[in-house]
Structure 1
Amino acid sequence: MNSKWRELDLGGGGLQAANLRLARTLRRRPVAYGLMLGFPLGLHRWYLGEHRSALLFPVLTAAAIAGGLTGMTAAAVAALLALAALLGYDLYTMERRIAAYNKRQRMAVYLSQGAGAPAGYRGRFAAGADTTAATRVRTASRVPSLAEQEALLREITARKPPAARPPQ
């Protein structure tokens, strides 16, 4: 999408405005993989909104540096192995996590649409047009479905005077 379109503010709650909001919030795979170069700081997890687990990376990095500087090589090696294991796990699951994040964003944007049509809105019908199930079935060029036939029968039954209705 062109950057000028992203900056355009359509206002309202239409589909175009929702798509523009969504385009701003979606996460891109190249950016996420590029941020994996900063894995000692957990930048890729910050990018994907995983803030709690992103804190683990700087803590392990600090533990590895502190262990190396104080001569505790076992602690430093353990922290480095944990960092390497987390990096391998993140490389393995990155596609899935990006897709899950983007899906959550899509759901949030599309489900937070406006209130919908105003009360009494009928769409694009001519004034006074008869849009009952009976007229829809009669004018159709196909055989009515079972649901349409049932709706037609309910409508016909509702139109009959009470004396003409069959006993139930």
Structure 2
Amino acid sequence: MSDAWKNLNLEGDGLQAANLKLVQQMKKRRQAYILLAFFPLGLHRDYLEDVRGAWLYRIASIIAVAGFWLGYLWPALTLVALITGFALYDIRWIEDKVTAINKALRIQAYKAKPSVPMPKDFRGRYTDEGLDDYLKLKEQERGGHVAPGKDPALNSRSRAPSFAEQEAMLKALSKSKSDSSSD
């Protein structure tokens, strides 16, 4: 299915508009993992709104490069190992962070108060003035359906007869047929 619907502008503050805004704001795991490949730059941390962590990656990477350049091989290798270790930890951290960010965005999007007031007499669903008459008409049109309490065989009951009651009605029916055929 095409993602063209994500670019539609439906205007207003309805649920569709809120969903479109939410889809655009939500963080994507794939994007974060792609940026993790460039972990010395801390781009994945920037994407997931952890500016402090992103700058720690950058500063540590700069110090490691400077250590190699100045001849401090072992301290630089130790720092590279630490940076790589934190990058491996970030594989799991990305899952938790994306989930937390997206949950916060959903809560924010759906709990936001609409700027357009509700219509008069709005009760959480659409209602129409003539809806009750229409439903009564449609109830009468259903083929083979008898409204509860309207079937004379059920003696105006609102439920279907039990199995025992059905057996009794069948016995009475067969008895009445046998009595009428013997006359």
Question: Which band: TM-score by shorter chain?
Answer: 0.5 to 0.7
Residue of structure 2 equivalent to 1:133:
none
The reply on whether 1:28 has 2:28 as its aligned counterpart is yes
Q: Is the 8 A contact 1:29 1:98 kept in 2?
A: yes
The amino acid of 1:2's aligned partner reads: S
Deviation at 1:22, TM superposition (A): 0.6
**Distance in 2 between the 1:105 and 1:17 partners?**
14
The reply on whether 1:107 has 2:104 as its aligned counterpart is no
The reply on whether 1:17 has 2:20 as its aligned counterpart is no
Deviation at 1:125, TM superposition (A): 6.5
Residue of structure 2 equivalent to 1:166:
none
Q: Which digits, 9 at most, give the CA deviation of each residue in 1:57-113, with x for residues without a partner?
A: 111110100000001123312321220121121012221111111111111222224
Structure possessing the higher radius of gyration over alpha carbons: 2
Q: Is the 8 A contact 1:67 1:75 kept in 2?
A: yes
Look up the SS of the partner of 2:12 in the other structure: coil
Residue of structure 1 equivalent to 2:49:
49
Residue of structure 2 equivalent to 1:151:
none
**Distance in 1 between the 2:37 and 2:114 partners?**
40
* Alignment TM-score, normalising by the size of structure 2: 0.62
For structure 2, which runs of at least 5 residues remain unmatched after alignment? 131-157, 159-183
Residue identity (%): 34
Deviation at 1:15, TM superposition (A): 0.4
Residue of structure 2 equivalent to 1:81:
81
Q: Is the 8 A contact 1:13 1:113 kept in 2?
A: no
* Alignment TM-score, normalising by the size of structure 1: 0.68
* CA 119–31 in structure 1, closer or farther in 2 if over 3 Å, else same: closer
**Distance in 2 between the 1:95 and 1:61 partners?**
24
* CA 106–51 in structure 1, closer or farther in 2 if over 3 Å, else same: same
Q: CA RMSD in A?
A: 2.3
Residue of structure 2 equivalent to 1:90:
90
Deviation at 1:55, TM superposition (A): 0.7
**Distance in 1 between the 2:117 and 2:93 partners?**
41
For structure 1, which runs of at least 5 residues remain unmatched after alignment? 128-140, 142-168
Residue of structure 1 equivalent to 2:4:
4
The amino acid of 2:54's aligned partner reads: A
The amino acid of 1:56's aligned partner reads: L
**Distance in 1 between the 2:10 and 2:91 partners?**
38
* CA 122–6 in structure 1, closer or farther in 2 if over 3 Å, else same: closer
**Aligned residue pair count:** 129
Residue of structure 2 equivalent to 1:150:
none
